Structure 1
Amino acid sequence: MASTTSERIFTLDVIRGVAVMGIFSVNVIAFAMFEGAYFNPGAYGGHTGADLFLWAANLVLVDGKMRSLFSMLFGASTLLVIERAEASSIPGAATHIRRMAVLLLFGLAHYYLVWFGDILVGYALVGLVAFLFRRRPAHQLFVLGCLFIVLNMVLFSLLVSHMIQLDHAAHATGATAEQVRGWNDFGRMFYPFPTDVAKDLALYRGSFGGRLHEMVTVRLTEPIRGTLFFGWETLGLMLLGMAAYKSGFLNGSWDDRSYRKVAGWCLGVGALAFSALAAADLASRFYVPTLFGGFLVATGPFRVAMAFGYAALIILLSRRMGPWSQRVAAAGRCAFSNYLGTSIVAAFVFYGWGLGLYGHVSRFEAWLLVPLVWLAMLLWSMPWLERFRYGPFEWAWRTLSRLQLQPMRKPLPT
């Protein structure tokens, strides 16, 4: 990270601030209740009235789009850090590898100690690969990014095809007990058995030690498997972010007319596609292959398009929002602290070692924590940065990466 405000690119900070706030809008559900409810509202937490509306609104407007935007920004910021290191005669490769190594440690700590939905491990590992593409021109980065995203879609389409085969085999005349068990084992994450729910509630309403034991035994290798599973898309998004940075798109250097076109077309077409997916999910009564395949395969290109559309819209609004833009940018400058901080807050609110609300609230009730957290981000980030150079976790990341204690407090004005 750059050390002073003047060295930063304002639009990157504003977009990052919106993205980290948006990510919590969907993550909070995974903190509050059975994991399968994230995709399937029928699994837990309510699927009528306000609960159904919230699920649909998040699916159409937020889910996947903010994560995609965050991944693109990670690629752009990675390129920016490397460029600035090399401009200061500091080896870019060594700088990047140290940063990713420390980020990996933060991610592992976040995963095992706080929350299973960590994205930092994947960012650190995929970020090492993205480094290899840093010198490519913008148009090549864009093409390569799209190809990796298509590859990810192909892999997931094979998985969805396997789901459908399991379903047909389990419901065919004369299906064996093994075939039925194979389908049930695959689908029970989205359609849990009562015993699954009871075990899950006991785990997350229980002690910190009980959950930690689960994470380092049953779920020990999930961060690596998750990276292998989702890493192709993450790599594609990082390369698209590098391309958007090199083209000047994320830097705010395009004219307003171009940004309006991108925002209008990408958000409009993308929202229609995700509205169709929400309708298909409802019509199929949240059929697992429809939920999974629709989100990860069919709407994959539209999710990326909406990320670009949101970036364009945020840049346009940031030019007119005045002081609010500064507050959102401050939240973006502290995005690492805000991301980890929201996880700690949500874990405290819902898990048994804190307030213990896990599984006691509906989907909509759980989401009521979101605007409070958003407000907290906007309130603390700017005053903090007026006194200190970095957010708390940003400072720790920088200090550990450089193996040297970094100055934290800003000098007092003379």
Structure 2
Amino acid sequence: MAGQAERAAKDRIVTLDVTRGIAVMGIFSVNVVGMAMIQSAYFYPPAFGFDGLGDRIMWLLNFIFIDGKLRGLFSVMFGASILLVMDAARRAGRDPWKTHYARMLVLLGFGLLHFFVLWWGDILTHYAAVGMVVVLLSKLNAQRLFALSAVAFIAFAAPGVYFFNKEAQSYHHSLEPGAPPELKKKWAERMAGIRPDAKAISEDRAAHASIPAHFRAAQEKGPLAPLDLGPLWIETLGFMLLGMAGYKSGFLTGAWDDRRYCRVAILCFGGPLVIFAAFGAYAWQYGFAPIEFTMVNRIYAPPLRPIMAMGIAALIILMFREGSALRDRFAAVGRTAFSNYIACTLIGTFVFYGFGLDLYAQLSRGEAWLLVPPVWAFMLLWSKWWLERFHYGPLEWLWRSLSRLELQPLRRTTADRPMEVA
């Protein structure tokens, strides 16, 4: 019985790692756009590089399957990992709270470097800050954590729906023949500013010509810019709370039976999948007009993201319950998720920025996405190779060493020793 329990515990860790690995791979599928072209195109595709059919198909596939869902799933796994790390610290006789806050402070430092030196889309500072808050609720049971996550998602979505409806009414009123001239002028200026002109694109290219140029541009945004994510704080808090609830309930650790996972996968993945496809078709039908696109992408889609994220998690758990070579590779990507996340930025910025191949603002959305499959292959190949020789990913090792103010063992001494979780 003891042996079975040990094997079950190991499988549950693998379940977490596989899910985290797939999530971090999916994130790059969306982030590559933010590295390849002007920032506004990340949020509104027609702003740049969106003229071909391939660009629209790539947006649609990302919108249906990845955008917001796998970032959300990664946030869920981050919340679960907070409890996992604190539990491990407690078993090892270390103070779990000191362990957690030391990790978050170091992560905050990494995030600031990532933002100011490499890329505006950093999420590490955000995770570190939210992680310092969400841990205060970590002693609650799974039911209360789940309820609080639902409250957070409602608090995130509801104001957007209210204010968007007011804005949409104002816009449609401006199109009426008898609309006030100042209202018409206001909306004409706003619509004209959605797509960057040649001067804006030229200035943006200059800001990505080198690391010093990026640093100067990032500095102009202010020292708190990487933390200025507005309502996204509330959504991320909801996802992390959901992760804690999923960990405590056994959902994320693979402790449920297959029948329950099947129900979650069908209801939480299958149902939203149809709705997201309908939303995408609606935006496409209206030519990605700003109001219609905003409605489906930033107003009505977000409330469904946590539902679909948990459906994806259930599907992953079902698919990778049994050991396989593919499961091992996804798990290795998950165990080196921090290193892989930064590696994606290094690869993306080298390909697109001026200090590398200088393809920034030269490719369409679909063309830029062609970088994704080889990077996925790289992640699957190097992660397992590395962990067969070392205990942790390179940045996981550095994070762990800095958090503990002591160099941690890195190289493996025996070939058959099991891989560890950083």
SS at match of 1:31: helix
Q: Deviations over 1:349-398 (max 9, x none)?
A: 00111110111112111111101001101111111111111000001110
SS at match of 1:60: helix
Q: 2:404 aligns with which of 390, 402, 405?
A: 402
- Partner residue of 1:155? 159
Question: Normalising by structure 1, what TM-score?
Answer: 0.92
Specify every segment of 5 or more residues in structure 1 that has no aligned partner in the other structure, as ranges: none
Distance 1:167 1:290 in 2: 11
- Partner residue of 2:34? 30
- Partner residue of 1:221? 224
Contact 1:103 1:397 in 2 (8 A): yes
Q: Deviations over 1:123-146 (max 9, x none)?
A: 100111111110111011001001
Distance 2:34 2:108 in 1: 22
Distance 1:156 1:220, change over 3 A: farther
Q: 2:312 aligns with which of 285, 295, 310?
A: 310
Q: 1:83 aligns with which of 80, 87, 101?
A: 87
Q: Deviations over 1:70-122 (max 9, x none)?
A: 00000000011112212333222111111111111111111111111111111
- Partner residue of 1:383? 385
Please report the RMSD computed on the Cα atoms of aligned residues, expressed in angstroms.
2.3
Contact 2:146 2:245 in 1 (8 A): yes
SS at match of 1:155: helix
- Partner residue of 1:324? 326
Q: 1:40 aligns with which of 20, 25, 44?
A: 44
Distance 1:7 1:281, change over 3 A: closer
- Partner residue of 2:146? 142
Q: 1:166, CA displacement in angstroms?
A: 6.1
Q: 1:254, CA displacement in angstroms?
A: 1.1
For 2:411, give the aligned amino acid.
R
Contact 1:169 1:180 in 2 (8 A): no
Contact 2:12 2:253 in 1 (8 A): no
SS at match of 2:46: coil
Distance 1:395 1:163, change over 3 A: farther
Equivalent residues in 2 for 1:200-279 (5 A)? 200-204=204-208, 206-218=209-221, 220-226=223-229, 228-279=230-281
Contact 1:156 1:293 in 2 (8 A): no
Q: 1:175 aligns with which of 178, 181, 185?
A: 181
- Partner residue of 1:51? 55
Distance 1:373 1:360, change over 3 A: same
Q: 1:296, CA displacement in angstroms?
A: 3.0
Distance 1:405 1:114, change over 3 A: same
Q: 2:394 aligns with which of 388, 392, 395?
A: 392
For 2:41, give the aligned amino acid.
A
- Partner residue of 2:376? 374
Distance 1:379 1:369 in 2: 16
SS at match of 2:181: coil
Contact 2:15 2:321 in 1 (8 A): no
Does residue 192 of structure 1 match 2:196? yes
Equivalent residues in 2 for 1:354-365 (5 A)? 354-365=356-367
Distance 1:331 1:28 in 2: 18
Distance 2:273 2:318 in 1: 19
Distance 1:306 1:326 in 2: 24
Does residue 74 of structure 1 match 2:55? no
Distance 1:251 1:8 in 2: 5
For 1:277, give the aligned amino acid.
F
SS at match of 1:176: helix
Q: Deviations over 1:238-276 (max 9, x none)?
A: 000111111111101111122122112211111111112
- Partner residue of 1:131? 135
Distance 1:231 1:256, change over 3 A: same
Contact 1:269 1:302 in 2 (8 A): no
- Partner residue of 1:350? 352
Contact 1:68 1:307 in 2 (8 A): yes
Distance 2:159 2:227 in 1: 17
Contact 2:118 2:214 in 1 (8 A): no
For 1:184, give the aligned amino acid.
E
- Partner residue of 1:299? 301
- Partner residue of 2:168? 164
Distance 2:12 2:412 in 1: 16
Distance 1:66 1:398, change over 3 A: same
Distance 1:305 1:280 in 2: 21
Distance 1:211 1:170 in 2: 39
Question: Normalising by structure 2, what TM-score?
Answer: 0.90
Distance 1:127 1:213, change over 3 A: same
Contact 1:167 1:183 in 2 (8 A): no
Distance 1:360 1:66, change over 3 A: same
Distance 2:169 2:223 in 1: 29
Q: Percent identity?
A: 43
Distance 1:260 1:159, change over 3 A: same
